[in-house]
Amino acid sequence: MRLSNYYLPTLKENPAEAEVVSHRLLVRAGMIRKLTSGIYTYLPLGLKSINKTADIIKQELNRAGCLEVLMPMVQPADLWQETGRWEEYGKELLRLRDRHARDSCLGPTHEEVITDLIRRDVHSYRQLPVNLYQVQTKFRDEIRPRFGLMRCREFIMKDAYSFDRDEAGAERTYMQMFEAYTRIFQRLGLDFRSVQADSGTIGGSFSHEFMVLAETGEDTIAVCSKCTFAANLEKAKVTDARPKCRETCAESEPVKTPDMHTVQKVADFLQAHPRKIIKTMLYEADGKAVAALVPGDRELNEVKLKNYLNAVELKLASPEQVVAWSRAKVGFAGPKDLEVQTIVADTLLSKETDWITGANQDEYHLRHVDLKRDVRLAGYADLVNIRETDPCPDCAAAVSFYKGIEVGHIFKLGAKYSRSMQATFLDEKGEEKEIIMGCYGIGVGRLVAAAIEQNHDENGIIFPPSIAPFETALIALNVQDQEVLAKAEEFYALLESMGIDVLFDDRDERPGFKFKDADLAGYPMQVIVGGKGLGKGVIEVKDRRTGDRSELPMNDFAASFQNWRHQVWQGWGLED
């Protein structure tokens, strides 16, 4: 491709609204343009990278036995009503009404559509298993679209759905997809981790997320320093290996704690460790009043609480609700004689006694609270966020935290959708069985953004060669010089004939300007044709990642270029 014929509007300045590096660089390098909030046009250069990424994904899925389909973007409401998600999904679902007053939505995901497809056509065990995927545009009316391609409203996703005869089959498929995902992210040249994850609104039995490690990631993951354990904070279990403490607990008594509505203030005042003060967090879970008790030095994790309660909706109680339920102002609620339906305590509270809690009375706390004796507990559960240095739940070594960008997610769905939508088949014995499903997503645009978050410097993007929009930039330093232009043309033809994806910068511009553009867009290899080199019989090449420059002999260019290219790919841990 000749740059003189290409559409590449680059920008010198950073776009004002871009908060993260990938957003800034995608816009500046002329890869995307914003149409409106969370909605982007992919320009030729951006689309090329997206397509290369999608191609690798498709190759690996095809290899794993998946088949490509393309489903509609507009989906009828009645399918979503069948699964109950028309109500459940909330405002991320963009709803539409057509001229016949029929309700539809723009697909944020395709479980309903694909389950409907399968239930109509699949009736026998002989037709199973089957695994279908698509690369398609999704719409989610995200509350806060941001970070460019990272969290948009309209975005390209690869979504796959598997259908198996039984749990064992579904687990095999899940493992195959896990392996296919691992190969995909390896081929993209990214530093990633697969982590145990919460299954969220889609539900189902278990799931893994694939995280690209990057400082700007929105997710924090806990990774064991010793074993392979890695999990999302929602899923990372906090374990407590301490033996049960034998301390005894005196009768509980109120103490006056004027104006002390934070843990720290109460701890200082009563000269206790914050750990000995129980925070009583009040929530409304599907209309029921719930209290969650956690140690004063820990953070409650709402996802863990929601999962324990099996709740669809979990809301922090309003100040009015707190006052009504605890009969005290905010900051003085406690579990003893608290009028809520369910009181659950974090497991860290199960080993000790003699706690300090709110007294359900303005300006008072209770001392010497024993949860077993004084509180009507529904039970203990793992409710708090794991902390760095907490023991790994698998091997007890210390965990550390990393920031990650979720680029892929795989779920074991079980019969969640096949049950509500009656997707069944007849097994070998002629018995009717529910199809066991799995679903598997990859955010294609987010993946390109994540690659940039992980690989860039002050000059621009440093693309892994497998997904760079062009693998090589061929830069003619001075196109006014007839000899330089003629040689550059010759090498352009040669590189093309070698099957190299090359962008020929044949513009009549200053060398500095051309180098800047090439560095900005992050082509992993640069081939530089200039008068000086020609005089010496060499062509200069530059590895964008390392910045290393070398000179390749002109008379043996093809072979020496292949050799150098091989080294560049190897430097990325990739096969060319």
Binding site for ligand ATP (CB under 6 A): 109, 140, 142, 151-152, 155, 157, 200, 406-409, 441, 443, 445-446
Of the two residues 28 and 140, which places its CB atom closer to ligand ATP in the complex? 140
By beta-carbon proximity to ligand ATP, the closer residue of 156 and 294 is 156
Compute the half-sphere exposure of residue 12: CA atoms within 13 Å on the CB side of its CA. Answer: 2
- Rounded to whole angstroms, the Cα distance separating 345 from 381 reads 6
Q: Answer whether 210's CB lies under 8 Å from 406's CB.
A: yes
**Strand pairing report for 436-443 and 342-346:** unpaired
Under 8 Å between Cβ of 452 and 25: yes
As measured in angstroms, the least distance from the Cβ of 446 to ligand ATP is 4
Nearest distance in Å: CB 152, ligand ATP: 5
Tokens representing 235 are 């899923």
SS3 166: coil
Shortest CB 192 distance to ligand ATP, Å: 12
Question: Based on CB atoms, which residue is closest to ligand ATP, 441 or 465?
Answer: 441
- CA dist 517 and 203 (Å) reads 46
Amino acid at 274: P
Nearest distance in Å: CB 72, ligand ATP: 18
For residue 144, the 8-state DSSP code is: S
Find the shortest distance in angstroms from Cβ 438 to ligand ATP: 13
Upper half-sphere CA count for residue 535 (Cβ side, 13 Å)? 4
Q: How far is the CB of 142 from ligand ATP (least distance, A)?
A: 5
Angstrom distance (rounded) from CA 452 to CA 469:
12
* Per-residue tokens: 73: 């973007």
**Min CB(238)–ligand ATP separation in Å:** 22
User: 181 or 470: whose CB is closer to ligand ATP?
Assistant: 181
Give the strand pairing for 288-295 and 342-346: parallel
Q: Of 440 and 572, which has the nearer Cβ to ligand ATP? A: 440
Which residues are CB-neighbours of 94 under 8 A, at least 6 positions away? 105, 106, 108, 139, 140, 141
Length of the chain: 576
Shortest Cβ 68–ligand ATP spacing (Å): 17
3-class DSSP assignment, residue 334? coil
Alpha helices in 245-318 (DSSP H): 263-270, 302-309
Nearest approach in angstroms of CB 98 to ligand ATP is 25
Which residues lie below 8 Å from residue 53, measured CB to CB, with a gap of 6+?
Answer: 188, 444, 447, 448, 467
Q: How far is the CB of 35 from ligand ATP (least distance, A)?
A: 15
Q: Token digits for 373?
A: 């004796």
Give the bridge partners for 160, in sequence order.
133, 440
Q: Which two tokens stand for residue 345?
A: 């305590």
Query: Which CB sits closer to ligand ATP, 40 or 561?
Result: 40
- In the complex with ligand ATP, the residue whose CB is nearer, 41 or 389, is 41
